[in-house]
Amino acid sequence: MRELGIGLIGTGFMGRAHALAFRNVSGAFELPFTLRLAALADADPARAQACTTAWGFEQAHGDWQRLIDDPKVNLIAITTPNHLHYPMAMAALAAGKPVYCEKPLAVNLEQAHAMHVAAKHAGVVTRVGYNYQHNPIIGLARELILSDELGEIISFQGEFSEDFMADPASPWSWRCEPEHAGGALADLGSHLLAMARYLLGDVEAVCADSQTVHGQRPTTNGSQEQRCIAVDDQTHALLRFASGARGTFSSSWLKHGYKNHLSFEISGTRGTLAFDQERLNELHLCRAGQGGFQRLLAGPDLPGYAAFSPAPGHQLGYNELKTLEVHELIMALAGDGQTGTDFEEAFEVERLATAIRVAAEERRWVSVSEISG
């Protein structure tokens, strides 16, 4: 076995999720590499040192370029705000190192295209953090679709809604900046677009509408000073898939009561299946003539589930999905991973999101083929 040195950039919620996944994956799976938590970087040196100690990394860096240059680091994991993905990933690719980057890939399509081209030229493994696709129950959904269990697919209805910005007094953050790929479409909707492509393939054309409901927000929590908001609070779209299926898409961070409502219904000529991430261990399936939906529970018969529990209904959670994503990444580094979202596929997700933005701005159907990097 060879040693794989992990370098993690960023110490927020996603940084911690990555750290947990890298620590947990060795206990859940037999790996082709021995993992070494080699280095961690954060712009705040004190924060970097504290997290290095707490999360079990060996070396703290206050400069992300030093982490990339560190000879002990073989894999770069990027969990920083969106506008930093591009310079960090490009530097890592220039150094010939594989990159595991959080979504969205970049803050605009030009950057995303450059990243995927650079990755192709570098010839290294890349992955982007669309971890919901690694849920074993989503694997079952894809198997049902590909095996023609639902017949010819005719419709997709997808929604990703949360309520963390529903209160107009919720303060401005970097997620409210267009230059940082902010807004509900980029922050939430990109997950749903990636899921739609994973399950049903290419989308050929879209029309859309976007809305900024709260045009101003406090600069900080409780502040009387306001900042103007120029990103979408909600976006709705119609989709035409290359397969001939039709679809609807919506993303919102204003819907009271929803915490992680990444949901979809997929209907075919012989049945319908439905999923909601807030009940991530369940899939609902109705076959034609059945008269109603059957609830399918995730269990050890599904790939990946048994690594965490030997019994159905005992439930996986968010961090298990992240661990499954990291496992796929590591197997890809060993030449045996094929199901993750690489930079090329992540570029296609950004291309689709860009088509939705153009359609909303120009009030027309937009062919995805019109959109180039």
Query: Mind listing the domains of the chain with CATH numbers?
Result: 2-131 (3.40.50.720), 134-315+340-367 (3.30.360.10)
Place of tokens 């609807």: 248
Report residue 297: phi and psi, to 5°. Answer: -100, 140
**Tokens of residue 302, six digits:** 């599904």
> Helix and strand tally (H, E) in the chain?
10, 17
Alpha helix ranges (H) inside the chain: 13-28, 45-55, 64-69, 85-94, 109-122, 136-146, 184, 190-200, 318-333, 343-362
pTM: 0.96
Measuring CA to CA, which residue among 260, 268, 262 is closest to residue 250? 262
pLDDT in tens, the chain (373 residues): 599 999 999 999 999 999 999 999 999 999 999 999 999 999 999 999 999 999 999 999 999 999 999 999 999 999 999 999 999 999 999 999 999 999 999 999 999 999 999 999 999 999 999 999 999 999 999 999 999 999 999 999 999 999 999 999 999 999 999 999 899 999 999 999 999 999 999 999 999 999 999 999 999 999 999 999 999 999 999 999 999 999 999 999 999 999 999 999 999 999 999 999 999 999 999 999 998 999 999 999 999 999 999 999 999 999 999 999 999 999 999 999 778 999 999 999 999 999 999 999 999 999 999 998 7
**Tokens of residue 252, six digits:** 């919102």
Cα separation, 307 vs 260, in Å, equals 24
Q: What is the pLDDT of residue 339?
A: 82
Q: What is the pLDDT of residue 373?
A: 74
**Tokens of residue 159, six digits:** 């929604």
Q: Note whether 68 and 75 are within 8 A (CB).
A: no
The separation between the first and the last C-alpha atoms of the chain, rounded to the nearest angstrom, is: 40
Q: Residue 55's Cα: distance from chain center in Å? A: 23
